[in-house]
Amino acid sequence: MSAGSAQPSDVRVTVERTAVIVEDDPDVRDLLDVVLTQAGFATATAGSGLEGVELVRRTDPLVTTLDVSLPDIDGFEVCRRIRTVSDTYVVMLTARTDEIDALMGLDAGADDYQTKPFRPRELRARIEAMLRRPRRPVLPAAPLPAPAPAPVVGLAAAALSDTIVSDGLVVDVAGRTVVVEGRAVHLTRSEFDLLAALGGTPGRVLSKDALVRVLWGDEYDTGTRVADPDRRSVEVHMANLRRKLGDDPSEPRWIRTVRGVGYRFDHPS
């Protein structure tokens, strides 16, 4: 065998990352295929919502890009259905610029929301930022035991190792579990990241811009400006987080809105 020949065992082809593209516009679909392929993904494409849901179900991709305007069912419904079968990172893409569309997309379970035309480099950077966040959903197998009262006497919130304890709320940061009054609470990745960031700095106000960058990932810093839709996405995630925790914004137990600035994790009175 010549020196230039390779034994079959020397040839290894591994595909570590898969992406699904749900887009009915062939030009945009081709562009997304190029962007994701260059980012190291093996791609699969779908031109309709139902086809996209089935493709995600079969392949369980790491990332899914999802158009809002599809020929059969809209992207919001597609995202809801995807969330029942996969924890894929979902980036919604649309030419719609209305604020309500962004809010609906995030509420349906999307991780990010980008308007068209999008900048390929920024889209790729945002996707890479999402991949630095844990993919495992926050689904505790069983409620955590109630914390012993002694360590938190006289304290509003206590950061004990990797645990945040405050007035019936227990957040296991390392295990990514949340319990309120002994009841396990399911949060999305984004909701958990916001809670961990706020609970880890009790009494300190975190601006919406700072929380946007929490969602982007600690290392995400390419000079991209934080835009109003990004800030509104934080508001949507925060509203969902409060609802799941049972934290009334008008009489907050843990998370207080600081008008014109951001949010603060409060010590109970």
Instruction: Report all structural domains of the chain as residue ranges with CATH numbers, in order of start.
Output: 14-131 (3.40.50.2300), 150-265 (1.10.10.10)
Give the separation between CA 129 and CA 112, rounded to whole angstroms.
11
Tokens of 45: 């494409």
pLDDT tens track for 192-246: 889 999 998 888 999 998 898 888 765 445 556 777 777 888 888 888 899 899 9
Average pLDDT, the chain: 79
Q: To 5 degrees, how large is the angle CA 223–CA 225–CA 231?
A: 140
Burial zone of 124 (CB within 10 Å; 0-12 exposed, 13-18 middle, 19+ buried): middle
DSSP helix, strand, coil percent of the chain (3-state; round to 5): 35, 20, 45
What does the pLDDT read at residue 6?
43
What does the pLDDT read at residue 157?
41
pLDDT tens track for 149-170: 333 333 334 444 478 888 889 9
What does the pLDDT read at residue 139?
39
Give the separation between CA 218 and CA 200, rounded to whole angstroms.
15
Instruction: Write out residues in the chain with pLDDT < 70, as ranges.
Output: 1-16, 96-103, 133-161, 217-224, 267-269
β-bridge partners, 159: 164
For residue 255, CA distances in Å to 15, 266, 267 come to 42, 6, 9
What does the pLDDT read at residue 64?
96
What does the pLDDT read at residue 145?
41
- Indicate the helix (H) or strand (E) that contains 177: strand 177-180
For residue 32, CA distances in Å to 17, 67, 84, 109 come to 15, 11, 25, 21
What does the pLDDT read at residue 224?
63
What does the pLDDT read at residue 41?
95
Q: What is the largest CA-CA distance in the chain?
A: 79
What does the pLDDT read at residue 112?
83
